[in-house]
Amino acid sequence: MTVSAPHHSAVQCVSIALDQRSYDIHIGPGLLSSPDSWHGLPKAACALIVSNELVAPLYLQSLQAQLGAHYARVEFVQLPDGEQHKDWASLNLIFDHLLARAADRKTVLFALGGGVIGDMTGFAAAIYMRGVPFVQVPTTLLAQVDSSVGGKTAINHPLGKNMIGAFYQPERVIADLDTLDTLPQRELAAGLAEVIKYGPIADGDFLTWIEVNLDALLARDKSALAYAVKRCCEIKAWVVGQDEREQGLRAILNFGHTFGHAIETGMGYGQWLHGEAVGCGMVMAADLSVRKGLMPAAFLPRLRELIERAGLPVRAPRLGAERYLELMRVDKKAEGGEIRFVLIEALGRAGMHGAPDALVAEVLAAHCE
């Protein structure tokens, strides 16, 4: 096996340190078709690739060809695309496929797709025969910078996003930057929401870097994307390495998500992309940070402008304050009925804060259409 020098030299690696559950994130162009990406994974008689009808036509053959060198059988199951299908019925398609083929408990699952595919494949791996290994192969910007890293897996419940799931780490993450070439612009923007998130919560300089390089990112400049993916993964690795199961610090990664999840659940899964809801949610969480006196007033327009430039919505849907509050009270961070928000305390630092319903209602009034 040979790997051409230009590819090889461009590969970057970020490690998630979690004792026996540690693993590497490979970031670079051409990784899907590079044999190096697939060496040294757990051995098994069978591999199963999980993907959807949009991604499979683009990348399935390439992955199958690579995995064929390592597994006697390479199976494939296609799930329907979209957040509205991140449910038990879709998950069960994976189990039906595995059990119909008597796939044993060494079987390795490969998640080829975006956040929905990654969350469902990871959760299926967590609970098939009480746990089999899996590999994340994220093909969207959102999945590469956020959802494929850190071991959060889940499906949705009609009453709340990601309510049923597990902390379950992958064996490896293969983030092939070339797969971003085929991403619809709306999906690219959704991914940028999670990229932007890392600035306010952990790295003020990175926020400035994004502001300077946003046009390059929107134009899919490979070196800009490579830096952004790597920096986001480094920050996420730092957070997850300290708090794998979200006992404290890890919650900061949910900046914008309390409002965002309410938008997604309230509108019906699949109407807003997750990244769109998070982008808009960050505007509201920034405003709440300002109204609570944690941040100067200028922070709100600064963040809103960046999110808008990324092509993301900054006005929230009009669900009514009561409905928003009801939806947010089942958020996983809520405790004893009190909603808890991730707020910015200084550029690069976030923390958990409660807020009176009346203040939250003011924020909602200011940002809903």
Catalytic residue, from 86, 161, 172, 236: name it: 236
SS3 state at 179: helix
Under 8 Å between Cβ of 316 and 263: yes
> Applying CB under 8 A, does 247 fall inside the site for a copy of itself?
no
Among 18, 54, 163, 249, binds a copy of itself (CB under 8 A): 163
Q: What is the Cα gyration radius of the chain?
A: 20
CA dist., res. 149 & res. 129, Å (int)? 23
> Applying CB under 8 A, does 281 fall inside the site for a copy of itself?
no
* Residues whose CB falls within 8 Å of the CB of residue 241, separated by 6 or more in sequence, listed in order: 16, 17, 18
Nearer CB in complex with a copy of itself: 202/339: 339
SS3 state at 300: helix
Single out the residue of 79, 122, 124, 118 nearest to residue 99, CA to CA: 124
SS3 state at 42: coil
- Residue 211 a catalytic site member: no
**String marking each residue 75-94 x if it binds a copy of itself according to CB under 8 A:** -------------x---x--
Residue 365 CB, nearest approach to a copy of itself (Å): 23
- Residue 152 a catalytic site member: yes
Nearer CB in complex with a copy of itself: 130/358: 130
Hey, what are 262's tokens?
């309410």
Among 10, 11, 18, 164, binds a copy of itself (CB under 8 A): 164
> Applying CB under 8 A, does 54 fall inside the site for a copy of itself?
no
Residue 78 CB, nearest approach to a copy of itself (Å): 20
Half-sphere exposure of 305 (CA within 13 A, CB side): 10
Active site residues: 130, 152, 194, 236, 246, 250, 254, 257, 261, 274
Give residues in contact with a copy of itself (CB under 8 A): 45, 88, 92, 95-96, 99-100, 102, 104-106, 126-131, 152, 154, 157, 159-160, 163-167, 245-246, 329-330, 332, 334-337
